[in-house]
Amino acid sequence: MFLAYPLSGILNILPSANAKHAFSLVVGLWYAQEIFGNQVGSGRGREGGRRDGKGGREGKGSNRC
């Protein structure tokens, strides 16, 4: 989110309205991908991460079935 201020400076430099709209679209899609894509896209969540089905949080003495 700290990139919003430098990116707004770039937006002010762009010459035409069409260029500003295209830039806003690309940046908005990139923000949405960063925020929602990382949470929903992997399907494993933050704890999962491993492909073998073991979450990684349990120790050796875990009673997980």
pLDDT of residue 20: 95
Instruction: Please choose, from the candidates 11, 6, 7, the residue with its C-alpha nearest in 3D space to the C-alpha of residue 21.
Output: 11
Percent of the chain with pLDDT over 90: 28
> pLDDT grade, residue 31 (50/70/90)?
confident
- How many whole angstroms separate alpha carbon 40 and alpha carbon 8? 28
- How many whole angstroms separate alpha carbon 28 and alpha carbon 56? 34
Write the single-letter amino acid at 63: N
The C-alpha angle with vertex 32 and arms to 1 and 16, in degrees rounded to 5, equals 80
